[in-house]
Amino acid sequence: MKKNVKISLALGILLSSLALYLSFRNVPFADLATYLTTINYFWIVPSVFIALISFFIRTLRWQYILGAAHTISFWQAFHPMMIGFMLNCILPARIGELARPAILQKKDNIPFSTGLATVAAERLFDIILLIILAIIVFAFVHIDPALDISFGKYHLNRETLITIGAGMFKLSAALITGVIIISFSATQKVIKRLIMALPAIFFFAGSGFKNRMQEKICTPLIGFLENFALGFVLIKNPKKVGICIVLSTIIWSLAALSYYVMALGCPGIRLSYFEIIAVMIIICLFIALPSVPGFWGLWEAGGVFALSLFGISAKEALGFTLVNHIIQMVPVIIIGLVSAIIMGVNVWQLSSCNEYEKR
């Protein structure tokens, strides 16, 4: 294992331990341990099954987005996606998002920039749907302005949720604007002209320097732009965008259903499906904050905050959130490792970025 990966793992373990301590420090361990023994763990089976179905739908969505530029099979999309999610669970900086297009480039000769654009498009659909759901949650769920949970340097409260939601809205608006700019031929031509005109800025340099700059910088940059734009071809087709929105709705509905089913086995967690959706959305908003690999600690703190809105005690809230977090993460890690073995992918080489730094 490479030295920088060892350092990343060591830091991840250290930060995760600290995050978990901050979440658990106000809950008596004996009470939490007692509560964990009262959970009916039978419900893990259907909960994990539903979560896995959501990943199959995610694969179909990504395959569909990729299909606008390059046709690949279901399993050619499934294995890179699960490897990427697995890396996001165990390593910092969401490196799995870069691993996916790196694997596509190595195994299926799909340009890295095109694969990266499809991952960005997929995330854009997720963000848009989360924003819509967050608006619905804020409209129907009362959040006590006085409710505040301390998590390290963060204060998880109503203002934090609003700030994160506003940030996600701005991010999605910026992404949509960027997609529009690079996806249509008219704006692409303008950008290409500007790129090819860059050497002219160095009017004091000789023609040799300008030619080298055009060859080494401008031409590759235009190639990257063209390949990146291919990943967003689907955006031009309203029907295909509608299909992706439907698939995104199914994905998040299944994710919430997985939470709901696990809650059935947890004493004291008697919430409606809509309330569970609210809990899931609030957790998703909180884990958008910079955090450790796998969101350990921040996920639990967000869960305690969200469940407290519905009168759930800290002990019950933390017990449910901890178990739910584990069953959402562990299967992804296991399947991701199996996918890496099946594809013959060196996970540690990917995680050290060597695969895509060379390309």
Question: Tokens for 185?
Answer: 């031929």
**Helix locations, 68-218, DSSP H:** 74-90, 96-108, 112-140, 158-183, 185-196, 207-213
Each of the 359 residues of the chain gets a pLDDT tens digit; together they read 445 545 544 554 554 455 455 555 555 567 678 888 899 999 999 999 999 999 999 999 999 999 888 889 999 999 999 999 988 887 776 788 888 999 999 888 998 988 998 998 898 899 889 888 888 887 888 777 787 877 666 777 888 888 888 888 888 888 888 887 887 778 888 888 888 888 888 877 888 888 888 888 988 888 888 888 888 888 778 888 999 999 999 999 999 999 999 999 999 999 999 999 999 998 988 887 766 677 877 888 889 888 988 889 888 998 999 899 989 988 998 898 889 888 888 766 665 544 444 44
Amino acid 356 reads Y
CA-to-CA distance for 298 and 136, rounded, in angstroms? 23
- Bridge partner list, 156: 149
For 354, other C-beta atoms within 10 Å of its C-beta total: 14
CA-to-CA distance for 160 and 154, rounded, in angstroms? 9
Buried b (16+ CB within 10 A) or exposed e, 194-218: ebeeebeeeeeeeeeebeebeeeeb
For 1, other C-beta atoms within 10 Å of its C-beta total: 10
CA-to-CA distance for 307 and 316, rounded, in angstroms? 9
